[in-house]
Amino acid sequence: MASTPTQFNAAIISKVAQYVYDHSDEAINVEALADYAGFSKYHFNRMFFAATGFQLGEFIKRQKLEKAMFLLKTGHSNILEVAMSVGYDSPSSFIRAFKTNFGCTPSDIQNGKSPLNVLVNSSRTLFLKNFHTQLVTDRY
């Protein structure tokens, strides 16, 4: 049975999401991801946005911050190490991005506060959660 374009796009996006997770400590750019997926950056950007509703840069940032959230929730107590492990050069830029995305600081998460996620009720977050769940399941 031949795969549909939607299945093909989902497979590519899943592959890219895994790549972002695996390389979260590196600088990741659109050109590298498009090359990894086998498309021009322009076509890949359009395809990615059509499939997810996310700009690729927004997705990369969000995936890195989701990984940081996971690390903080699983006992990684050094915020600087967590920031570096997801590609941030300074703790201040990491904390600022984290707070902007989740409505709380990394320290708040370590102290048991639940994040306030402005995208909680959006289908984009559900899409990311499904990919994140699949990625975590595949890893462990």
Whole-prediction pTM: 0.74
- Encode pLDDT of 72-81 as tens digits: 999 887 999 9
- Encode pLDDT of 36-92 as tens digits: 999 999 999 988 888 888 888 899 999 899 999 999 999 887 999 999 999 999 999
Tokens 């059509």 map to which residue?
50
- Encode pLDDT of 103-128 as tens digits: 999 999 998 888 876 443 344 444 45
Angstrom distance (rounded) from CA 140 to CA 130: 16
Q: How long is the chain? A: 140
Q: Identify which of 83, 63, 79 has the alpha carbon closest to the alpha carbon of residue 129.
A: 63
Residues 103, 115 contacting (CB under 8 angstroms): yes
Angstrom distance (rounded) from CA 81 to CA 68: 10
Q: What share of the chain is helix, strand, coil (3-state, %, to 5)?
A: 70, 0, 30
